[in-house]
């Protein structure tokens, strides 16, 4: 049987690259998981739930996620203005995949950390696999 090779399109036309570029940044997944876990949240609540994100970066991240249709923002006409964020249907549909990734990370992080430490010392954690 002949093996076929997958070819990926240039980044502007490749759905995988396009979405991973947006969702694979340092903060987007944490914002989405926080909204999924907590439901409707205000800016400061999201900010506090993540802890080490700057307000500027949270603003940028929320705007990007809103532009992608994953997060919705509702502004209430009050003084001071009240703004709430929530996941859209599209954002919610992404969460089972993130949940699987989070579960995998929790299960495998000890081995990944061990492998990194061994790699730094020049020792391979897993025997090399040849095809």
CB–CB of 62/74 below 8 Å? no
For 16, residues 6+ apart whose C-beta sits below 8 A from its C-beta are: 8
* pLDDT one-digit tens code per residue, 60-72: 999 999 999 999 9
pLDDT in tens, 6-44: 676 666 677 777 788 888 888 999 999 999 999 999 999
Q: Return the pLDDT at 23.
A: 83
Q: List C-alpha distances in Å: 126 to 21, 99, 112, 121.
A: 29, 27, 11, 14
What residues pair up with 74 in beta bridges, in sequence order?
Answer: 84
Give the pLDDT band of residue 89 (cuts 50, 70, 90).
very high
pTM of the model: 0.78
Is residue 120 over pLDDT 90? no
pLDDT of residue 126: 62
User: In order of start, what are the domains of the chain with their CATH numbers?
Assistant: 15-120 (1.10.10.10)
The per-residue pLDDT of the chain, averaged, comes to: 88
CA distance 35 to 49: 10
The closest alpha carbon to 69, from 39, 97, 89, 95, belongs to 89
């Amino acid at each position: 049987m002949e093996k076929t090779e997958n070819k990926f399109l240039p980044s502007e036309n490749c759905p995988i690259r396009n979405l991973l570029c947006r969702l694979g940044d340092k903060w987007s997944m944490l914002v989405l998981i926080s909204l999924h876990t907590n439901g409707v949240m205000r800016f400061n609540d999201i900010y506090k739930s993540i802890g080490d994100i700057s307000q500027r970066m949270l603003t940028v991240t929320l705007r990007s996620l809103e532009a992608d249709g994953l997060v919705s923002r509702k502004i209430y006409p009050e003084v001071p203005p009240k703004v709430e964020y929530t996941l859209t249907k599209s954002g919610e549909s992404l969460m089972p995949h993130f949940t699987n990734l989070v579960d995998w990370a929790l299960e495998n992080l000890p081995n990944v950390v061990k492998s990194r430490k061994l790699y730094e010392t020049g020792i391979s954690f897993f025997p090399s696999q040849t095809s």
